[in-house]
Amino acid sequence: MTAANILSALVEGAIVPVVRASSPEAALQAVEAIANGGIRAAEITMTVPGAVRVLEKLAGRFGSNLLLGAGTVLDPETARACILSGAEFIVSPSLKPATIEMAKRYSKPVFPGALTPTEVLTAWEAGADAVKVFPCGNVGGAKYIKALKGPFPQIDLIPTGGVNLETIGDFLKAGACAVGVGGELVDAALIQQGRFDVLTERARQFLAAVAKARAEIAARS
């Protein structure tokens, strides 16, 4: 898939689960649970022990049935290792042009983190396919996304932080092309307790919330 096709698929699904877990096994089980709930994307953060190996295992297990990404990627060397292990997209909490360049070298979409209008535009001009607005919930949530889309209608924004079942619709209505969802979906306590069936149900609930929001957006236009 081309970078544009990967981004389009992520936008179609709307939800990028941010997987943080205390062990490789827990991360694998969490992704399986989310996939069972119908979400076809997952971002494995580099804070997961053995994260690159986890990417390899997930790529082997799911193949093209899961859009696999690497998150909390802080440098180009890590980006390259993740891509070679099966990551189809790269996400960072911050802006580092060298990481963007590395993703481009392998024709993979990259979503660097930015917060202020200047950072958002700098990331876009540096080659970002979309910009991760982080931590979005701390600076106004959906209202902040709507404010950014005013001067930057051409920039795809993926807010992360503050996205939950109650707010996901507001983010999409505000103009977010997709959203990153962490603990509200991939709950560390549930993972630790082995309650993966609850993660599966939450995935279904988030997809239902997306469908509801999109129906409301369509009715409004």
Tokens of 5: 């096709």
- What three-state secondary structure class fits 134? coil
Tokens of 120: 């958002």
Strand partners, 17: 181
Note if 132 is an active site residue: yes
Note if 43 is an active site residue: yes
Tokens of 51: 């994260």
The CA distance from 133 to 115, in Å, is: 5
Give the active site residue among 57, 96, 108, 132.
Answer: 132
The CA distance from 120 to 124, in Å, is: 6
Tokens of 105: 């070298």
- Reference 42, options 71, 74, 81, 76; nearest CA is 71
Give the active site residue among 25, 32, 43, 184.
Answer: 43
Quick one: DSSP state of residue 23?
S
The CA distance from 30 to 35, in Å, is: 9
* Residues catalogued as catalytic: 43, 132
